[in-house]
């Protein structure tokens, strides 16, 4: 007896076709990413790590270009939510300004994870891929206190006002300074994280402070700008400079003896870890808290012994 159209043999064929094609029918994971900058060397390397890992895993990544513009970042996150991405990685430009993006993501049921910078409301973050920034600030400050033998006048290039990683580093510095009566913070200035801003701020600091012993910068670009400004007026040799990030130009400056300390955040590996964490959270729908990165102090004593993979 012949089967009529739509009877058992036809249904079996359809079932076999569906069962035989799960890979092609499977939905590709889509991760939205909004980094604070597309030009800062740390974020450039981090983005490469994200893109390379996404290509390896067959994940689609959709980037929002913000470049330190909080309104653009929030609007971009809203667009990603409209597109129903599976998770969002964000380095919030400011603690307060980015909060609405987190709130909307949570309302939409889309996991939103902080990377590099974080919010001051951890209940809105599904994860934070980064570090205890206050502890990192203390580590730099303790190194600086030892280098200055517990006595000296310090200028602080504190980065963007409202950026969590910067505020917490400075808080860590202040804690250490508070335990050394001979240390004094004589100037603190906020700005975007660019070498040009480091030059501009340092010119003013040097004019106002004929006596200065050290510069604590929350970012390598600011530190390199400060060094250039001090070199232009012949005062660089009298100062100790610390940076943060471990950008290639900063590593070279340590090697040359111009920058005295930086902390390599291994941004490429950081981006890889961020993408992997976003996928895990999207799949498991579980909040995971702090996912800590590994860092490497880089100073004159060890810079020539470190291999490229130690800093990647």
pLDDT digits (tens, 9 = 90+) for 164-194: 899 999 999 999 999 999 999 999 999 999 9
Instruction: Please tell me the predicted confidence (pLDDT) of residue 1.
Output: 37
CB contact set of 191 (below 8 Å; sequence gap of 6+): 157, 159, 160, 197, 198, 200, 201, 222
Q: What is the mean pLDDT of residues 201-229?
A: 97
Structure confidence at residue 21 as a pLDDT band (50, 70, 90): very low
Same domain, 147 and 242: yes
Q: Is residue 21 in some structural domain? A: no
pLDDT over 50 (residue 311): yes
Same domain, 247 and 179: yes
Same domain, 203 and 234: yes
Q: What is the mean pLDDT of residues 12-17?
A: 37
- Output 163 or 239, whichever has higher pLDDT: 239
Q: Is residue 19 in some structural domain? A: no
- Can you tell me the distance from the alpha carbon of 44 to that of 233, in angstroms, rounded to the nearest whole number? 32
Q: What is the mean pLDDT of residues 227-245?
A: 97
Residue 27 gets the label, from left (phi > 0), alpha (psi -120 to 50) or beta, of: beta
Q: Is residue 298 in some structural domain? A: no
3-state secondary structure of 214: strand
Instruction: Please tell me the predicted confidence (pLDDT) of residue 26.
Output: 59
Same domain, 175 and 219: yes
Structure confidence at residue 9 as a pLDDT band (50, 70, 90): very low
Q: Do 179 and 205 meet the contact criterion of CB atoms below 8 Å apart?
A: no
Same domain, 235 and 86: no
**Which residue range forms the structural domain that includes residue 257?**
133-264
3-state secondary structure of 189: strand
Q: Is the dihedral of CA 125, 127, 120, 164 positive or negative?
A: negative
Structure confidence at residue 77 as a pLDDT band (50, 70, 90): very high
What pTM does this model have?
Answer: 0.78
Q: Is residue 20 in some structural domain? A: no
Q: What is the CA radius of gyration of the chain?
A: 24
DSSP secondary structure of 227-242: HHHHHHTT-GGG-EEE
Query: What is the average pLDDT score of the chain?
Result: 90
Instruction: Please tell me the predicted confidence (pLDDT) of residue 124.
Output: 94
DSSP secondary structure of 239-282: -EEE--B--HHHHHHHHTTSS-EEEE--HHHHHHHHHHHHHHHH
Domains held by the chain: number: 2
> 155: domain CATH number?
3.40.50.2300
């Amino acid at each position: 007896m012949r089967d009529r159209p739509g009877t058992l043999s036809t249904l079996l064929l359809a079932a076999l076709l569906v069962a035989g094609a799960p890979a092609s029918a499977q939905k590709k994971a889509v991760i939205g990413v909004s980094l604070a900058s597309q030009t800062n060397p740390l974020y450039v390397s981090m983005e490469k790590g994200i893109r390379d890992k996404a290509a390896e895993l067959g994940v689609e990544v959709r980037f929002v270009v913000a470049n330190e513009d909080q309104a653009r970042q929030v609007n971009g996150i809203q667009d990603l939510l409209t597109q129903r991405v599976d998770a969002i990685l964000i380095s919030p430009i400011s603690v307060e300004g980015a909060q609405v993006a987190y709130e909307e993501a949570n309302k939409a049921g889309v996991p939103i994870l902080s990377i590099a910078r974080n919010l001051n409301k951890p209940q809105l973050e599904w994860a934070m891929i980064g570090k205890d920034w206050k502890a990192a600030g203390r580590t730099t400050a303790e190194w600086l206190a030892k280098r200055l033998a517990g006595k000296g006048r310090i200028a602080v290039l504190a980065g963007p006002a409202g950026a969590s990683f910067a505020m917490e580093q400075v808080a860590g510095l202040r804690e250490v300074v508070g335990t050394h009566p001979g240390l004094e913070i004589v100037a603190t200035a906020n700005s975007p994280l660019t070498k040009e801003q480091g030059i501009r701020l340092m010119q003013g600091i040097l004019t106002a402070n004929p006596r200065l012993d050290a510069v604590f910068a929350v970012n390598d670009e600011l530190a390199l700008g400060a060094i250039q400004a001090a070199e232009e007026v012949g005062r660089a040799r009298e100062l100790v400079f610390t940076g943060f990030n471990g950008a290639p130009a900063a590593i070279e400056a340590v090697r040359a003896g111009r920058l005295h300390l930086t902390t390599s955040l291994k941004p490429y590996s950081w981006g890889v870890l961020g993408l992997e964490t976003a996928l895990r959270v999207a799949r498991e729908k579980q909040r995971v808290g702090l996912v800590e990165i590994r860092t490497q102090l880089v100073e004159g004593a060890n810079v020539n012994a470190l291999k490229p993979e130690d800093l990647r």
